[in-house]
Amino acid sequence: MKKNVVFSTISIDHDIADADSRWKLWRPLVELVQVRRFFIHRLYYFIPPSLKDRLSALQKDLEELAPHTEVVPVVIDTKNNFSPQSFAENYLFFDSFFSTFVFNDEEEDYFLHFGPGNMFAHSFMIMMLVNIKRIRCRIIQLRSSKDRFGRIHSTIQIYDNAINHWISKIGDIEQRKHAQQDLLRGGIRTKNPEFNQLVKDIERVAVHSAAPVLLSGATGTGKTQMARRIYELRLQTGAVTGPLVEVNCASFRGDSAMSALFGHVRGAFTGATYERKGMLAMAHSGILFLDEVGELSMDIQALLLKAIEEKRFFPFGSDKPVFSNFQLITATNCDLFAEARNGRFRTDLFARINLWHFRLPSLRERPEDIEVNIDYELKRLSEQRGVFADFLPEAREAYLRFARSPEAVWPGNFRTLASSMERMHTYAFQGIITKETVDKEIAYLRGLWRRRTEKLEGIEFPLIARASHLIDRELDLFDKVQLEKVLEVCLACKRRSEAGRLLFASSRLRKSSNDDTARLNKYLRSFNLSWESVKSLEE
């Protein structure tokens, strides 16, 4: 007959008791060694480091109650008790303990007993014993009950071969959970807590709700990609079985929206020489994704609302309704609430598609995620082109410093970042992105964004544009207007003192010091400029 060997954690709230009360409480470990139908030949019990000073009393009771059981206390040799924060430290301890433990399956049976309230400790033991050591263990569960006289009795239950299945189930659930979140993140491990929470919220809605989802955010924040990931997640979980049909509403012109969305019959209008199914019908049992939904005309909005609510619609030129049971995801880069309030978007349609609304943050709102997205794009480009490329350390540091700075406006968000990475990947010589390549890209982006800002403002600043490679920060319109005139004066004057007298002709009379040159130098330095660098613009 094989010997029974038990590994157990202790229950801090029950097993470790004061001397006066220890016999009045139900103590699982003490009860376990007294169970008659299950004799324990050897017992190992793990005790946290904070309780090692109280070990002697428990050990004495166990030896007294079970004199024929070999009781082996194991003080966990770590600085901290079990906690998620001390995971690595405790992991190393258990790894060392069970790696050196001599298992004898021919002569011994092994069991796991878990004291109540020690779930973190339990996970360590299970992981080490089952996942790593791959031994056959059974779980012991001890329960207390009272008889009709109020006396406490302990009953034991042994679960044969349940633990491997349990571990497998837990592993599958955790793996699916992480896979779902990675799917929604696009495989990028975000460090932004707000975006992490957003992903969790979208995941929950994607799995548990078929109601319409509205995604908002600036251009390039990943709305289309998120819609595709929601579809993939719903397809994996069986929430949909049909296709994802994507529609860019901004591309519609005139009556094309009616035909594209709802379809038409032959002869419905001039040129309708064949029947068209329509995208709403194509999305049956799947998902219809309407990108830039705010671009739809008011009459199309009315028809769309009816189709969403009734799951049926009439193709253009037909008197026979078509049934389509589709789920809906919409996206916009505008404020639909403001559009509805101003009468440019139907309030009833907005209310219908706005049940679940998620705003995707811009790149500037997630500065801690810029580096992981850079690495993601480098990996993607390397796989796509078959050519590996990466930064030199100083080059990476310089690019990250710029990318996270206030002057990096990222107007196209992640789309602009991807384009930037593609340019540097192309210029990488023998797979190395140097500091010179980074400097060149930063200069290009600065010029591009300044020109974009100046164009949007409708005001040209030719001298500032010529000095853009010298100026080290983004300028407000007020600064641009003032600096443009200062540069004009400096270029018109031969000497610095002459420019200073002209620029400060009135204010110099109210100051005790008339050092106009010092005032001009200070002003220019605030833009990373000097008299010499300004005069160099003449060439």
CATH architecture for the domain at 364-457: Orthogonal Bundle (1.10)
Complete DSSP assignment for 74-115 = EE--SSS-S-GGGHHHHHHHHHHHHHH----TTTEEEEEE--
Alpha-helical (H) ranges within 212-318 are 223-236, 256-262, 279-282, 298-310
Does the structural domain 3-160 have CATH classification 3.40.50? yes
Amino acid at 71: V
Q: Measured over all CA atoms, what is the biggest interatomic distance in the chain, rounded to whole angstroms?
A: 110
Q: Cβ neighbours of residue 193 under 8 Å, at least 6 residues apart?
A: none
For residues 499 and 101, give the distance between their C-alpha atoms in angstroms, rounded to a whole number.
86
**What is the predicted pLDDT for the residue at 170?**
46
For residues 139 and 521, give the distance between their C-alpha atoms in angstroms, rounded to a whole number.
80
pTM: 0.53
**What is the predicted pLDDT for the residue at 129?**
62
Q: Cβ neighbours of residue 80 under 8 Å, at least 6 residues apart?
A: 49, 86, 89, 90
Q: Which regions of the chain carry the CATH code 3.40.50.300? A: 177-359
Nearest to 471 by CA among 499, 494, 442, 493: 442
Tens-binned pLDDT, residue by residue, of the chain (539 aa): 889 998 888 776 566 655 555 666 677 778 888 887 789 899 998 887 777 777 787 888 888 888 888 999 888 877 666 665 566 677 777 777 877 888 888 899 888 887 766 656 666 666 666 555 556 677 777 766 655 555 556 667 776 555 555 555 544 544 555 555 565 666 566 777 888 888 888 888 888 888 999 999 888 888 988 899 899 888 887 888 899 999 998 888 766 788 888 887 776 665 666 778 889 999 999 999 999 999 888 888 999 999 999 999 888 877 888 899 999 999 998 888 888 887 889 999 999 999 999 999 888 888 888 888 898 888 889 888 888 888 988 999 999 999 999 888 888 888 899 999 999 999 888 788 999 999 999 999 988 887 766 555 556 788 888 888 888 777 777 788 889 889 988 888 888 888 888 888 777 666 666 778 888 998 898 888 889 888 888 76
> For the structural domain made of 177-359, what CATH number should be given?
3.40.50.300
184 and 232 Cβ atoms separated by less than 8 Å: no
Q: How many residues in total does the chain contain?
A: 539
pLDDT digits (tens, 9 = 90+) for 191-244: 778 888 888 888 888 888 889 999 998 888 889 888 998 998 888 878 888 999
8 and 129 Cβ atoms separated by less than 8 Å: no
For residues 488 and 538, give the distance between their C-alpha atoms in angstroms, rounded to a whole number.
11
Classify residue 294 by its DSSP letter: G
For residues 123 and 247, give the distance between their C-alpha atoms in angstroms, rounded to a whole number.
48
Q: Which regions of the chain carry the CATH code 1.10.8.60? A: 364-457
Nearest to 474 by CA among 524, 414, 408: 408
66 and 33 Cβ atoms separated by less than 8 Å: yes
